[in-house]
Structure 1
Amino acid sequence: MTRKAAAERVGINIRTARDWDRGVRRLKRGRLYPDGTFVDYTTNTTTMRSMTSPPSTVPEQVGSRLLSLQERETIADLKRLGWSLRAIGRKLGRSASTIKREIDTRSTDGVYLPHGAHRDAATKRMRPKPAKLAQSGRLRDYVSDRLREQWSPEQISGVLSRDFADDESMQVSTETIYQAIYVQARGGLKREVADALRTGRARRKPHRSPEQRTSRFVDPMVMISERPAEVEDRAVPGHWEGDLVLGAGNKTAIVTLVERSTRYVMLGHLPGEHTAEAVRDVLVTLIGTLPEHLRGSLTWDQGAEMAAHKAFRVATGVPVYFCDPASPWQRGSNENTNGLLRQYFPKGTDLSIHGLEDLEHVAQKLNSRPRKTLGWDTPAERLLELV
């Protein structure tokens, strides 16, 4: 029968029938699901409950790995028709031993009843137990004390695994600690939230994989993985790496460009704010001083200052490739050069005091230094050969 027809025969609402099929129990204030999740409609909250008694009904599918109610009905039907255990197993895609064990274990007085067998399997499978940190004791005290010392849940779990390797009662996973803090009635550590975690968040923040992250810019980025091979091996000159050197409070900045094959440095003056438009204008000016054959590409990180990358490409014809998040090694030449520049522009200083002439002087200093990676040639000598 259909669910609707069955509900009418029994005299219940179709939604109640659907709840019975799924093992959902309707309580006074909300709904209790088979996994212990309780949705309270009066307070609009979701908590976890210990299942003190099995539900009055069980879901049709106990688990994807286990036999479903439909499979048990098929076993009963085919057994009555005289099918062998192997034939039933082939029909269901199960081993013959699984079918034999099911019939031997679940039969009553030699009769196999699928619904009774399914209820028995579901009831025995439920092993509700209170969360580890919901119980007072040595483990909970240890976790609480370390949280007060600003240890992270991962640090707590790791040290417990090392120091109490032979004591199962003193083992707890990182996720269990987080649930004890964030899920109501799941461990009693709610009061620790304000001081326990370094973030101080009262709610968990989901972390997304790189594929799920939203692009930082309106205009789509072209990632470094799509950069031509000739850029990667530094065989062809004219490909640049760029970044900003920031001053005190990140309020002032200098644009830095480094050519990948020659290590030649160009510096751009930003007297005011380092907005996307200001950085774009400086980059257009710097690239504009180069001959056409040295305008190959520009590689940058995903800083907000490059939000106008499309306008830069339109103005110069130079494609921009973006590094992966938190991957400074993908612009190794530029990172190394920025470190050298700190000799002239120390951290925590106001960079707006340096004018165009100052920047040209520093760039000339770096470009006239011999480099081991260039066979002790200078960047200026290498670039002069190209020009």
Structure 2
Amino acid sequence: MMYHQLTVLERYTISKLRKAGLPVAEMARILGCHRSTIYREYHRNSVQIGRCLTYCPSKAQERRNGRLRRSRRGPHHDQGQYARVVSLLRQQWSPEQIAGTLAQQGEFRISFQTIYRHVRRDWRAGGKLYLELRQRYKRRKRHYGLEKRGRLQGKRMIDERPASVETRQEVGHWEGDTVAGASTDKHCIVTLVERATGYTLIGKLHCRTTKALNRKVLELIRRSGLPFLSITYDNGTEFHGHAAMEEASGATIYFAHPHHPWERGTNENTNGLIRQYLPKGESMSGVAQRHCNAIAHRLNTRPRKRYGFRSPEQQLFG
């Protein structure tokens, strides 16, 4: 089994599975890692609260980031190897995809952190390599005000979702959200991501209304021919037609808690990847469904670290 460092999403998953009472061996199987990885995670990143040690995923990530900042290593790669990395960056591969694929193919080993450092050095020297990165990282606010969106009674919350959905062993459980362009523009897209495989469907919306969203989601479901057993949505008012959607699609609809994006972590991560093609703040009025299909195809055929650098398409169709 190939070694990898735990991600933020995996740390939140560990916390949730631990609260559900799963043994470490089962947690390791779900995450695709060795059980010693989870034992080591507990040992290194648990925090003292009162007289008890407890595991907090946000604190664990802070500790990991601190160790990474304090680490210092000399150069281990030549210019030819960096040229290979740059060529893959210009094909719109992420640093993690590059590092994993190069190691898997036996070319050479390089960590994604080293690739990011190389990009940063290039930027400091006046280079433009940073423009090849698919995402820009910003510090996000972690405090929230009162929920200002419309409230809907009778919706199923994610707490009611069967525990089996969390294991990602069954194809057919999806996460959904809308992604906006310019703040003054009604045009947007709806994204659906399958939890077990990461397979993505994208639909163009001319307005963010309940009727328009349900129509487009049903179109995506029927055109894909894929199983839809459940969909976990964000809390936007455009999803308030969930009862009609359940009746038309046969899928059970659940809702994440307000301001808990990690409960739909697969969808949130995918929406970040889509921003490479549809940047935040830019109008989507010129985006057609064929553009959405092309973006989805690119995402579905890229290698993913979590699947051993197989693509979502390979995971779904073999």
Q: Are the counterparts in 2 of residues 240 and 258 from structure 1 also a CA contact under 8 Å? A: yes
* Aligned-partner Cα distance in 1 for 2:224–2:161: 21
Q: Normalising by the residue count of structure 2, what TM-score does the alignment of the two structures yield?
A: 0.52
Alignment partner, residue 245 of structure 1: 179
Alignment partner, residue 279 of structure 1: 213
Q: Are the counterparts in 2 of residues 264 and 367 from structure 1 also a CA contact under 8 Å? A: yes
Instruction: Determine what percentage of the aligned residue pairs are the same residue.
Output: 43
Alignment partner, residue 231 of structure 1: 165
Alignment partner, residue 317 of structure 2: 384
Alignment partner, residue 179 of structure 1: none
* Aligned-partner Cα distance in 2 for 1:295–1:334: 15
Answer with 1 or 2: which has the greater Rg: 1
Q: Are the counterparts in 2 of residues 215 and 221 from structure 1 also a CA contact under 8 Å? A: no
* Aligned-partner Cα distance in 2 for 1:384–1:235: 15
One of 259, 263, 267 as aligned partner of 1:330? 263
Q: Are the counterparts in 1 of residues 158 and 232 from structure 2 also a CA contact under 8 Å? A: yes
SS of corresponding position for 1:257:
strand
Alignment partner, residue 160 of structure 1: none
Alignment partner, residue 347 of structure 1: 280
Q: Normalising by the residue count of structure 1, what TM-score does the alignment of the two structures yield?
A: 0.43
* Aligned-partner Cα distance in 2 for 1:298–1:332: 13
Q: Are the counterparts in 1 of residues 176 and 192 from structure 2 also a CA contact under 8 Å? A: yes
The count of corresponding residues between Structure 1 and Structure 2 is 173
Change (3 A) 1:214 1:260: closer
Alignment partner, residue 299 of structure 1: 232
Shift of residue 357, structure 1, vs aligned partner: 1.1
Q: Are the counterparts in 1 of residues 150 and 237 from structure 2 also a CA contact under 8 Å? A: no
Alignment partner, residue 319 of structure 1: 252
Higher relative contact order structure (alpha carbons within 8 Å, sequence separation ≥ 6): 2
SS of corresponding position for 2:254:
strand
* Aligned-partner Cα distance in 2 for 1:377–1:251: 36
Q: Deviations over 1:40-81 (max 9, x none)?
A: xxxxxxxxxxxxxxxxxxxxxxxxxxxxxxxxxxxxxxxxxx
* Runs of 5+ unmatched residues, structure 1: 1-206
Q: Does 1:309 align with 2:242?
A: yes
SS of corresponding position for 2:192:
strand
* Aligned-partner Cα distance in 1 for 2:235–2:228: 21
Amino acid across the alignment from 1:225: D
One of 342, 361, 369 as aligned partner of 2:294? 361
Q: Are the counterparts in 1 of residues 149 and 237 from structure 2 also a CA contact under 8 Å? A: no
* Aligned-partner Cα distance in 2 for 1:372–1:327: 24
